[in-house]
Amino acid sequence: MTPLQQRIAGHLQLLYPQLDAMEFAQECLAQFGLAADAPSPTPHRNLWDQSDVAVITYGDSLRSEHEAPLHSLLGFLNTRLQDCISTVHILPFFPYSSDDGFSVMDYTTVNPSLGNWDDIARLSRHFKVMGDLVINHCSSRSLWFENYKQGVEPGAGYFVEASPDTDLSAVVRPRTSPLLREVKTPGGERHLWCTFSHDQLDLDFQNPRVLLEFLKIIRLYLDKGIRWFRLDAVAFLWKTPGTPCINLPETHEVIRLLRLMIEHRAADAVIVTETNIPNRENLTYFGNANEAHLIYNFSLPPLLINTLITGCCKHLKNWLMTMPPAQYGTTYLNFIASHDGIGLRPTEGLLSDWELDTLIGTLQRFGGHLSSRTTPGGATRPYEINISLWDAFRGTAAQGPDQWQFARFLCAAGIMAALEGIPAFYIHSLFATENDDARVEHTGSFRSINRHIWQAEDLESALSSDTHHRQVFDAMRKLLRLRRQQPAFHPNATQYTLHTGEALFSFWRQSIDRHQSLFAVYNISDTPQTFNLSELNLIATDEWVDLISGERFEDPVAQVRLMPYQFLWLSNRHD
């Protein structure tokens, strides 16, 4: 009996006490194609450095009449972003029935309208590829569900059944739709659990055969070159009536098991948990450096946007001071925008109801839409705001639209790029794509506002002419190239929050080898701000240069004036 077998069996015993854990461990190893004596990876390894920057994109965010979308994507990334990013997160690229990919019909096939597995493998030879493991639910048009309705395998026991008479009032929901869906089967009428929509049927991980199916799926993804795994909506994975059915101990146990097996098969693999929940709960998905390598920093988008539209960094600063430094081998995935909206649950306990209402109202004035969820008590609460990031920064809460949109937008990117963790930029943020109201009208989904599809020729034209798209894209590329050169921006480099007032947001980063100190100072208001360099306590014998402008600061107590949304990356290393 090898140590790996024993560790796998330990997890399985907690999940499936009715089974022979050692026998099932053998079956899991065989299904995963993993040798029982596979060498263990070194713990607490950082699988990243300051050069790691991710871009988030759909497989068809760029379309061309002349080639498959995944071809167009690779061509664009290689031509325009090769020296700016290291990782590409391709949102679900499988056949699907709804939710722009997150209702998967077949986990083993690339959607032929996008390309094929060869395209994914080709991308993986140029970039680290993150793929979605849509693990909580699958499509009502999947083979598994068709088999369920016929009572045959695979699928007969794959879905979560519940009686409508069961008290499910404690269940936490991200939606307002009914939780259960009525289904006719040969054995009679059944009611199936649907956390997100009635087209997305929750999978029953209390059935060990479901775990085996996903081990087979993960093995395929590894074979095709995927190394980063985004566990979609994983917080909802395990269901126990009478509980909130979110963040349950068994869910964490499944993640620990998957982490163990994946990293033994591919030492460079990375697990990312997507848990759009309050900050304190989100942090638990690090475990003891034995669950997620990366967790999404879900509180950052609403707090950062709130900071820049109010001109006050109080909440962002207070939140940052509460964030624990990630252990080596773990770090944060920082983002401001994604294919989804700006999540509001992560503001719970951070913004007051009045402040949240102000944020929502301001973004609605800028063209955004509000989506809601149902609480366990039956009340309706804000869940997310749907808006493009470019439009979110049109102006301020007090004054409305103004002339500072570009500067405000770049300031937000400059903050995210400098924070502890790995920055992930939604591809439409790189282009400053506007709200796509026509797509919302066409699909009926608020989320479509930030899921524009560019024709490749139109994008090339926009990036080659005098447009705000070109202005933003050029500035973002310059910023990312600069970021990737700074050891102080290693995802695990030291970070301290500084106290420079409510209109200046500031923090200090120091490289792991302590050779570089970098002070990041941002005017997050629409009025000029002045501060004294003595507030930063610079080492007088070092030479300090602003990496953004190239300006040298020889007097360590000089006064500095920052224009609205201007920022400094003040470094003692500038070779």
Query: Tell me: the pLDDT tens digits for 111-142?
Result: 999 999 999 999 999 999 999 999 999 999 99
What pLDDT score was predicted for residue 376? 80
To 5 degrees, how large is the angle CA 55–CA 58–CA 61?
A: 95
Q: Which is the catalytic residue, given 52, 119, 232, 526?
A: 232
- CA dihedral sign of residues 242, 244, 245, 248: negative
**% of the chain exceeding 90 in pLDDT:** 94
What pLDDT score was predicted for residue 575? 66
Higher-confidence position of 373 and 460: 460
Q: What is the mean pLDDT of residues 253-279?
A: 96
**474 a catalytic residue:** no
Query: How far apart are alpha carbons 268 and 48 in whole angstroms?
Result: 10
Count the residues in the chain. Answer: 575
CA 263, distance to chain mean position in Å, is 20
**What's the chain's Rg over C-alpha atoms?**
24
Query: Tell me: the pLDDT tens digits for 81-101?
Result: 999 999 999 999 999 999 999
Q: What is the mean pLDDT of residues 454-462?
A: 96
Across the chain, what does the average pLDDT equal? Answer: 96
- Worst-scoring range by mean pLDDT, 143-147, 151-155, 175-179, 211-215? 175-179
Cα–Cα distance list, 239 to 131, 177, 275, 292, 319 (Å):
25, 18, 16, 20, 31
Both structure tokens of 145: 């569900």
What pLDDT score was predicted for residue 323? 96
Query: How far apart are alpha carbons 205 and 218 in whole angstroms?
Result: 15
Query: Tell me: the pLDDT tens digits for 363-376?
Result: 999 999 999 888 88
Q: What is the mean pLDDT of residues 30-55?
A: 97
Query: Tell me: the pLDDT tens digits for 49-80?
Result: 999 999 999 999 999 998 999 999 999 999 99
Q: Is the pLDDT of residue 11 over 90?
A: yes
Query: Tell me: the pLDDT tens digits for 514-563?
Result: 999 999 999 999 999 999 999 999 988 899 999 999 999 999 999 999 99
Q: Is the pLDDT of residue 231 over 90?
A: yes
Query: How far apart are alpha carbons 99 and 194 in whole angstroms?
Result: 14
Query: Tell me: the pLDDT tens digits for 473-515?
Result: 999 999 999 999 999 999 999 999 999 999 999 999 999 999 9
Q: Is the pLDDT of residue 171 over 90?
A: yes
pTM of the model: 0.97
Q: What is the mean pLDDT of residues 287-314?
A: 97
Give all domains of the chain, ordered by start, each with its CATH number.
54-131+217-489 (3.20.20.80), 137-202 (3.90.400.10), 494-571 (2.60.40.1180)
